[in-house]
Amino acid sequence: YKKIGVLTSGGDSPGMNAALRAVVRTCNYYDINCYGIRMGYDGLINDHIVELGPRSVKNLINKGGTELKSARSEEFRTVEGRKKAAETIKKHGIEALVVIGGDGSFTGAMKLYEEQGVPFIGIPGTIDNDIFGTDYTVGYDTALNTVAEAIDKIRDTATSHNRVFFIEVMGRDAGFIALNTGIATGALDILIPEEKDSIEDLFQSFDNAKKKGKTSSIIVVAEGDKLGGVYDLAKFTKMKYPEFDVRVTVLGHIQRGGSPTVADRVLASRLGVAAVEGLIDGRCCVMAGMQSSKIVFTPIEEAIKKHNEIDKELIKVSNILSMQ
Ligand code: F6P
């Protein structure tokens, strides 16, 4: 390849900039011109393209968000939109793409390949860690640490006032953020979509906590949990235990920001190099990921369709430690 394009798409995640930097510099290393596409697929449709040299990505490795900006493009979901995108690609002589994003972004890239023949490699960038084919997605570790720091702070005030807190964390349909931060912050209970908890299970946790003499508790709830959402859970808890002082915190988009952790920077750097080298080796329509510390390429359809299982051992750990 002589010209490769790179874009970030979907929800941003900390470490996307580190991945961008790695893609740009690896291209330069192999004498490939690298083009940054702004605003995700919208940038392809509207021709927002800038050539990026190795110096243009300086001071980026530690920066949150995405310098290229991101979008969830509606127009790219249409055949017409993808046709326009292909015209821009052709106009600039771009031969392949590196797509940094989540499953929606990969679905779009796959369609562009099928309809317009534009080869690509994906890099998993999302805080949710919900992509098959990699142990971790870029941004997940940073989000975990952001959430843990926030919950630690809530714990201070929860303890001071003997309160029960329901804390909603992100993750879309997945409970990885909730489960891991729940364990890390000593939550009394963790509610995730992958587990079929009932309100009675939650009440049992409260009964048990009362017996053990606990005076305050934190319940971490994944946003995708099916039990009814933090506000309803708080309401039902108050009805059952009128003596409880119940509060709700929805952490929201704070979870998507901030300087990436070392783990995310290293992961993003490795996957950026792997994606460009993968394209040079003639790979297409795969995602560069990391499994057991090794770089692996997973066919994009698998990355989109298959799901990472929740580790039952983690659920056991949470249960054993919180019921004492
Ligand atoms: O996929 C990342 C994520 O932050 C999810 O955890 C959340 O459900 C969603 O994006 C929020 O999307 P938006 O920023 O478009 O509101």
Q: Which of 31, 42, 47, 128 is catalytic?
A: 128
Return the pLDDT at 144. 99
Per-residue model confidence as pLDDT tens for the chain (324 residues):
999 999 999 999 999 999 999 999 999 999 999 999 999 999 999 999 999 999 999 999 999 999 999 999 999 999 999 999 999 999 999 999 999 999 999 999 999 999 999 999 999 999 999 999 999 999 999 999 999 999 999 999 999 999 999 999 999 999 999 999 999 999 999 999 999 989 999 999 999 999 999 999 999 999 999 999 999 999 999 999 999 999 999 999 999 999 999 999 999 999 999 999 999 999 999 999 999 999 999 999 999 999 999 999 999 999 999 999
Cross-strand bridge partners of residue 34:
4, 52
Task: Report whether 21 belongs to an annotated binding site.
Answer: yes
Tokens of 99: 């797509």
Q: For residue range 244-269, list pLDDT tens digits in order.
A: 999 999 999 999 999 999 999 999 99
Closest C-alpha to ligand 1, atom 2:
11
Return the pLDDT at 189. 98
Q: Interface pTM (ipTM) of the complex?
A: 0.98
Pairing state between β 286-291 and 120-124: parallel
Dist CA 152 CA 154 (whole Å): 5
128 is catalytic: yes
Q: In sequence order, what DSSP letters do the residues of 8-68 get, joined into one string?
A: E-SS--TTHHHHHHHHHHHHHHTT-EEEEETTHHHHHHTT-EEEE-GGGGTT-TT--S-TT
Distances (CA, A) of 255 to 14, 226, 292: 9, 21, 25
Dist CA 315 CA 190 (whole Å): 9
Dist CA 79 CA 83 (whole Å): 6
Ligand 1 atom closest to the CA of 177, numbered from 1: 6
Distances (CA, A) of 130 to 91, 153, 177, 179, 201: 35, 27, 10, 13, 26
Q: Is 171 in the pocket of ligand 1 (CB under 6 A)?
A: yes
Dist CA 296 CA 290 (whole Å): 6
User: Distance from the CA of 176 to the center of ligand 1, in angstroms?
Assistant: 14
